[in-house]
Amino acid sequence: VVGILTQRDILRLCYGQPPEFLQALGQDPNSVPVGQVMSGPVMTLAEAALTDLLVVVNLFRQHQVSHLPIVDDHQRLTGLVTCETVQHALLLNQLSWAEHQRSILANVEQRYANLLEAAPVGIFHTDAQGRYTYVNERWCEITGLQPEAALHRSWLSILHAQDVAPVMESMAAAYRQWQPLRCEFRLKCQGGNIAWMYGQLVAERSAQGHITGYLGTLTDITEHK
């Protein structure tokens, strides 16, 4: 590498030098040899040293250059790194990392969903007002309801009428102490059957401490009763 001619050199030639400069060369301004206007000597970087883009970025900043020729062990030109190629590479790295993170998150969510469906207890989630937003398959088996019949209705609506007040009192006491609700109650199942449940309910809270939803489980203890 004996020199380099960049857009900066051309602009400096066109606007930084008086016209007499070219006339003094005794040549046609449109056919000036590159060797007379190129910049040199040229800073280069060995291929073996090109292990991290930060090395290139630091050289750009330190020497105020925007083009960095890459050479092999024999000082032969093998490539050229520019500000644009560095930006492009960084963008690709960011996109690749973001895609990797999305892939990991998708796998975690799938495993979580599989776990919920395979759980031997009924699992449900509600919004802050106590309306169902999710029920698993076991919950449907216990209650005899399908997911579409449960969504957006209050989780208290399937409790036996005589157990609603005691459960509400236990829930209020638990939340005053920021403790999960754990209690036994009767459930009104489809067909008029009554089943005994051991229920647990945990409040989900925002960073400010406001309740944003509830996560609960139902365990059928009818046979024990």
| Local confidence pLDDT in tens for the 225 residues of the chain | 888 888 877 777 777 665 555 555 556 656 777 887 788 888 888 888 887 777 888 888 888 888 889 899 888 999 888 888 888 877 777 777 777 777 777 777 777 677 767 678 888 999 988 889 998 888 888 888 888 888 888 888 888 889 989 988 888 888 777 788 889 999 877 667 788 999 998 888 888 888 898 898 989 898 887
What is the pLDDT, as a whole number, of residue 198? 92
What is the pLDDT, as a whole number, of residue 28? 64
- Token pair of 225, please? 């009763």
The rounded distance, in Å, linking the Cα atoms of 140 and 147 is 7
What is the pLDDT, as a whole number, of residue 26? 59
Q: Give the residue among 55, 51, 44 at the shortest CA–CA distance from 80.
A: 44
Mapping DSSP onto H, E and C, the string for the chain reads CCCECCHHHHHHHHHHCCHHHHHHCCCCHHHCCHHHHCECCCCCEEHHHCCCHHHHHHHHHHHCCCEEEEECCCCCEEEEEEHHHHHHHHHHHHHHHHHHHHHHHHHHHHHHHHHHHHCCCEEEEEECCCEEEEECHHHHHHHCCCHHHHCCCEHHHHECHHHHHHHHHHHHHHHHCCCCEEEEEEEECHHHCEEEEEEEEEEEECCCCCEEEEEEEEEECCCCC
- ω into 120 cis (within 30 of 0): no
- Return the exposure string of 23-43: e unless at least 16 CB atoms fall within 10 Å of the residue's CB, then b: eeeeeeeeeeeeeebeeeebe
Sequence-distant (6+) residues with CB within 8 A of 196 are: 184, 185, 186, 187, 220, 221, 222, 224, 225
Four-residue CA torsion sign, 177, 178, 183, 187: positive
| This model's pTM is above 0.85 | no
Q: Is residue 199 within 8 Å of 215, Cβ to Cβ?
A: no
Q: Give the residue among 160, 167, 179 at the shortest CA–CA distance from 130.
A: 167
Please state the length of the chain: 225
- What are the contacts of 108-112 at 24+ separation with CB within 8 A? none
